[in-house]
Chain A
Amino acid sequence: MTVSVRDLIHRNRGLLLLVLLAVLLAGVGASVFSSAYVRVLHRGFEDRSLAYAQAFAASAIPWVDRGETELLRSAALLFLAGSARYVQVWDGSDLLIDERVNGYRDLTLEPLETPLASSAGQSADATNLLDVRVPIEIQGSAGYIRVGVGRTSVAAQARSAMAAAAGSALGFVALFAGGLVFARSRGARGHRDSEPMAADTILQAGGLAVDPVRKTVELDGRPVSVTPKQYKLLELLAGEPGRVFSEEDILAAAWPDSPYADAKDIKQYVYLVRRRLAEVDPEAKRLIETVPGFGYRMVAPAVDQDLTP
């Protein structure tokens, strides 16, 4: 009953190739999708961070104008409770406020040339930090607001997206492989079951009669006692007398759920079936013929031909 891995692979090589192809396709698909999604995610995060800093700037300008520095500082502290790591407000060369969260207090933020337009880019001084600069005008003098926005949240989202893509790819492969195995077993069963049922007739091969409805075997009208697996073997062979069934065909029909069944099992069951038939009629064991190198077949009944003109 033992079967080597090599035999298993050889027997299922078509299936394995398809599954391998599915793995490859799913892997490439998941990789392309997740990298594109992560790019979009980071781009969206940068756009929103820019708008976030601009919203702070829009609030800060009137506070600076009115000299409400404490209110500006309060707003900056509330702002820093989220993803923002530092907020600087520059009025020309005067640093009006410089609020930072712990861990960023020693970060060197050199004064900049007043930017002409808002911009967001990777901080040169700290990893995983977006440095956003927004130009402002306070009572006619040019200044700018500088906000550092941590990428922690978007990095977590990106990791989740990649994990979801990998999970979906695995799910796809599992479904695909499951579908293939199911289709294959259905195909084998269909080959075995559907034809006799559709014909709704008793299978005849010489004096042998196999009844797919009642699951009985008779030889010249006399019952032959067979086990379910022996019956399946007879049903398959009697279904198409004369056709040579390969070992793979027989295994798929009689042992659809057993990956460990092999040629030895077939040989043993053919022997047992021949013995059962021989118990009724010693000559009947010849009904199942071994075709060396190909498999087994049920001997086709002789056709009476009237050769007389």
Chain B
Amino acid sequence: MNVRRAGVVLLSLMLACSFLSLAQEQRNAETGVEERLSGFAARLRLSISLASFAVYAPSLGDLHLHAQQIVNALEGSAGPHFVRAEANEEIRGLRPDVADLIDWFGDNVEEGETKLRIAAATRNIATYLELALESALQALRLRRLDEATAQMLKVYAFLAAAYERPSETPHVPGLWTILRQYSLAESEAGLNADQG
């Protein structure tokens, strides 16, 4: 009987440990994704700033420079249009990061409304980033400042849409939706208040 009770206790302990372990793994994974999301948000904000620099660039050379910086930020050093400013420059691209995030959310978020909302947001981010990349590459091909500026306005709009700044007007889910899900929106709120 004692042996049997001891067995039950041991089994209970093992189950509890495994649940605790799973929960810890989940927490660790979520901590990891929160860091990645924060980093992603910071790099996306930097790209939006670069787009605003390009829109007001005083010369075509400056506009092309910032357009290339955005292409680099979007594609990362493995991208086909990446141009290294320094010999060993290695950076992660926003687009590959979104692809990774889509996979991660697919594997780690429980089925339900939240998963659907996050999936829609990540798909939108990926699409906006692709459109921003196309427009930035188009701007790099143009030789007139006014035409290239119009393209960079598109880049700015697509990146801002990917960031999804909440406003009173209806908006399509983007990064903000995901940040809110992971309680990261508060730390972005100061920024948003300034930009809004």
Contacts and interface: CB of A to CB of B under 8 A. Distances in A.
Interface of A: 45, 48-49, 51-52, 54-56, 58-59, 61-62, 65-66, 68, 71, 74-75, 78-79, 81-83, 149, 153-154, 157
Contact of A82 (B45, B55, B57): B57
Interface in B30-86: 42, 45-46, 48-50, 52-53, 55-62, 65-66, 69, 85
Contacts of A74: 46
B148 to A, nearest CB: 13
B59 A51 contact: no
A71 B58 contact: no
Interface residues of B, number: 25
7 contacts: A48-B56, A48-B57, A48-B59, A52-B56, A62-B190, A65-B190, A68-B42
Interface of B: 42, 45-46, 48-50, 52-53, 55-62, 65-66, 69, 85, 187, 190-191, 194-195
Contacts, number: 74
B191 A52 contact: no
A74 B65 CA distance: 15
B190 A48 contact: no
A52 to B, nearest CB: 4
Contacts of A78: 46, 50, 53, 66, 69
B85 A81 contact: yes
B190 A55 contact: no
Contacts of B187: 66
Contacts of A153: 58-62
B190 A79 contact: no
Contacts of B56: 48, 51-52, 54-55
A45 B59 contact: yes
Contacts of A55: 49, 52-53, 55-56
Q: Which 4 A-B pairs have the closest CB atoms?
A: A59-B49, A153-B59, A82-B62, A51-B56
A68 B190 CA distance: 12
A154 B59 contact: yes
Contacts of B191: 62, 65-66
A46 to B, nearest CB: 8
A31 B69 CA distance: 39
